[in-house]
A = this chain, B = another copy of it.
Amino acid sequence: MQEIEVRATRGPYKIVVGESLYGKELVQMLEKLGPYNQLVLVSHPRILELYGSDMLESLNCHLDPGVKPVVFTFPEGEQNKNISTLEQGYRYFLDNGVGRKAILLAFGGGVVGDLGGYLAASYLRGIRYIQLPTTLMAMVDSGIGGKVGVDLPGAKNAVGAFYQPEAVISSIDVLKSLDLREVKSGMAEVAKYGFLYDERLLDGDWQLESLADIKNLEWLISRCADLKSMIVAIDELDINGERAILNYGHTFGHALESSTSYNLFRHGEAIAIGMMMAAKVAELAHIAALGLYQSHSRVLRPLLGGLSISDEVDTEEIMKDMERDKKREAGLRFVLLKEINQPCLVDSPSKEVVRSAIQEVIDDLKGD
């Protein structure tokens, strides 16, 4: 078991990575958090079916008989990470008398973590919560650092808060229920940390055929968590540029997801292609030497599996989407690599270079 401390403004909290943590370990963590009179489990039906009864049994037999978990579920998928689901959550909490001293458990992947965390941030001006991520993606990235929120039509994460959890508990055994495509999608975020900060994360065999192919899973998850928590400690509110570095591949990735209505790519797949595009921009703009794209391609293409890049993926649509992003962010800063583990922020690379890079990567992937 690995423990990592996140030094956030409102006080430090722990990330725990290990096996079989959603029973006794969770109960012990709750005991450490001080008085609470209610538990609220936020999750989705599939996760609850797999692990819910074990978890609830373990909670029920360790907890004060007065503390009855309230369970709120909503269907999986980014399309449900919206204001309407939030509203259902609030009503459900009110109807079940959830109060200020409750603790919320966000038990699921990135969508549950984002929406559950934002329910915690905003209900009664904020109640405490714990992230219990169940996907590789959420364990290495989205579950850490307190960015929570929901989407608006056409604008991902447009409503939200910076609201840190009391703890993040990542129990690796639950990853077994992920399909291979989801595992690969999560590995794209691992690769991101590898390209940005620690080349050792790129040492694995990326031709995954099962979760068992990932060597040292615990080390890999805790190393990413460690890197993320260091960045969060120095730029919690995403204002001085450090946290922006973590958006490597995301400007392109979000535009890819949005321009294909979130139904062609898993998030990690879009980020993988986005990093390939960023590497291509760095080469074309002579920020990096030739070879950067090749090293990205070697690691990232296997993660895309049999994904076919259809005609839905259109360079001009991607450009348009990035323009909208640019307006909201008051300028579009690209995260580029001078070389592996040498990230930098570039304010406005030429539009022509960006357009060519997008097109070249699309052509390259279509050629598969």
Hey, which bits of chain A sit against chain B, CB under 8 A? 9, 37, 83, 86-87, 90-91, 94, 97-101, 121-126, 147, 149, 152, 154-155, 157-162, 237-238, 327-330
Contacts and interface: CB of A to CB of B under 8 A. Distances in A.
Contacts of A158: 90, 94, 123-124
Contacts of A161: 121-122, 125-126, 161
Contact of A90 (B90, B99, B152, B237): B152
8 contacts: A91-B152, A94-B155, A94-B328, A99-B328, A101-B330, A123-B158, A126-B161, A126-B162
Nearest to A239: B100
Given A9-B9, A125-B162, A330 B100 contact: yes
Contacts of A37: 330
B329 A100 contact: yes
Contacts of A327: 97, 99
A201 B17 CA distance: 57
A122 B155 contact: no
A94 to B, nearest CB: 5
A250 to B, nearest CB: 15
A328 B122 contact: no
Closest 6 CB pairs of A and B: A101-B330, A97-B327, A99-B330, A125-B160, A99-B328, A122-B159
Nearest to A237: B126
User: How many chain copies does the complex carry?
Assistant: 2
Contacts of A122: 122, 149, 159-161
A91 to B, nearest CB: 7
Contacts of A162: 125-126
Contacts of A124: 158-160, 328
Given A125-B157, A158-B90, A100 B152 contact: no
Contacts of A9: 9
A125 B147 contact: yes
A100 B160 CA distance: 12
A9 B162 CA distance: 15
Contacts of A87: 83
Contacts of A123: 158-159
A37 B329 CA distance: 11
Contacts of A100: 328-330
A149 B121 CA distance: 12
Contacts of A155: 94
Contact of A329 (B91, B99, B121, B328): B99
Nearest to A148: B125
Nearest to A125: B160
Contacts of A98: 328
A125 B149 contact: yes
A30 B20 CA distance: 53
